[in-house]
Amino acid sequence: MGKSKDGYFLIEYLVIAAVIFTATSLYFEDSTQDSKELELVSLTGTIELSTRESMDTFGLQNFKTGAIANLNLSVNSIQVPECATCTTTTSGNMLYGEVIITELFDFENRLGRVEGNLNFTHLLTFSTSQYVISEQVFFHWSAGDIESSWKLTLNHNPPRWLPKYDINTLFIETELGLESRAGPELLIKNPSTNQRIIHACLPDSFLCKSSSPDALIIASYGPGQQETLISDSIQWHLHDLSEYPHTNITDSFADEILPLENSIPNQYGFTPWPEIQFVNASTYLIEGEDTRIVPLSAWFNSIELTPIQIDLFGQSVVFMQNESQSVYNILASDGSMKVGLVIY
């Protein structure tokens, strides 16, 4: 898998805006267990967008790296209304609030500023045995004429096991605090029972050290807020793609993330809409090697939350596109959807 290393960074930065702000999730090992006395209620701090990918995530392709994202975010627990006939439970968290980006210089050294709103939701669906069978991530970023929106579904078969780890087993105790064992440097400090300070580096920010981090994030804890009820998660619909011609459409996003083999005739794919007309569609075989990534897992684990797990293996990748959306599927050998992503 010659391209996998760069591809992993692309996947990480696809979800980085969500992941670096998802210090809002509770750890859902057991949805029936008693709530902790203190829950995460806000997330504040600054992140230096020191890499090209982190700038592009916020739609800042026309600006130099090094801008500062200032966070002022609130957290709400989410509960999907119970279903009397269902054998699963779904719960999660919603993060929302203001992000102000300063120190923003274009390539002519003109100084700018962006004020935007972030809305992020992470849902986990559990079986009766408390294994995760699916995850859903909804992300929306809006800042004037800059807007980004996408929805991601991850189906786990076999279901995903979430062992409960103590944070001290995941990080090394030092005189400065808890430090990450591997990956980008991360340092956790606990000045009080209702506050945690995270010093962290972005992926691919090779010169960053926890002593001079890209990010300084303060997670504040307090009494749990009233849960927000939302409707059930996104539904995916099967579409016959055999009418679309067998074309080898190069899609750089999928090609850089996944080791794709030859394109093959289109058969079917899944989208969130019952009916839709595509501009084009293409299907590719995937090389047989199993690949699983957990983007920015140290950031997640530093707040004792569940990292997003993305399984990048299966039988084929399907890419569908219309005038305003792009849809990606990873399909298993039995034709079921493992990964579904729609970008608006």
Q: What pLDDT does residue 33 have?
A: 38
DSSP 227: P
Same domain, 224 and 244: no
Q: What pLDDT does residue 309 have?
A: 84
> Quick check: is 300 in a domain?
no
Same domain, 19 and 103: yes
Tens-place pLDDT, residues 272-312: 999 888 888 989 888 766 777 777 778 777 776 677 888 88
Q: What pLDDT does residue 23 have?
A: 36
Q: Positive or negative, the Cα torsion across 157, 159, 161, 162?
A: positive
Decide if 309 contacts 294 (C-beta within 8 A). Answer: yes
Q: Positive or negative, the Cα torsion across 74, 13, 216, 186?
A: positive
Same domain, 212 and 278: no
Range of the domain at 210: 4-228
Same domain, 220 and 242: no
Rounded Cα distance between 56 and 61, Å, is: 5
Rounded Cα distance between 25 and 22, Å, is: 6
Prior bond to 272 cis, omega within 30? no
Q: What pLDDT does residue 253 have?
A: 64
Q: Is the pLDDT of residue 15 over 70?
A: no
| Between residues 110 and 306, the one the model is more confident about | 110
Rounded Cα distance between 51 and 216, Å, is: 16
**What confidence category does residue 83 fall into, taking pLDDT thresholds of 50, 70 and 90?**
confident
**What confidence category does residue 29 fall into, taking pLDDT thresholds of 50, 70 and 90?**
very low
Decide if 215 contacts 47 (C-beta within 8 A). Answer: yes
Q: What is the mean pLDDT of the chain?
A: 81
Same domain, 129 and 160: yes
Flag the least confident range among 80-89, 185-194, 223-232, 271-280: 223-232
Q: 316 forms bridges with which residues in the sheet?
A: 285, 331
- Domain-terminating residue out of 177, 195, 228: 228
Q: What pLDDT does residue 271 have?
A: 95
Tens-place pLDDT, residues 112-152: 999 999 998 889 999 988 899 999 999 998 988 878 889 99
Same domain, 249 and 102: no
Token duo for residue 127: 């079986």
* Burial degree of 33 (CB within 10 A; 0-12, 13-18, 19+): exposed
Residues in the chain: 344
Q: Is the pLDDT of residue 59 over 80?
A: no
Token duo for residue 151: 């929805």
Same domain, 61 and 193: yes
Rounded Cα distance between 248 and 193, Å, is: 56
Output the CA–CA distances (angstroms, integers) from residue 123 to 91, 93, 95, 155, in the order listed. Answer: 6, 7, 12, 12
Same domain, 57 and 175: yes
Same domain, 98 and 77: yes
Domain count, the chain: 2
* Contacts (Cβ under 8 Å, ≥6 apart) of 242: 265, 266, 267, 268
Flag the least confident range among 42-46, 197-201, 289-293: 289-293
- Domain-terminating residue out of 200, 228, 256: 228
Specify the DSSP element, H or E, that contains 266. none
DSSP string, 151-196: EEEEEEEEEEP-----HHHHEEE-SSSEEESSSS-EEEEEEETTEE
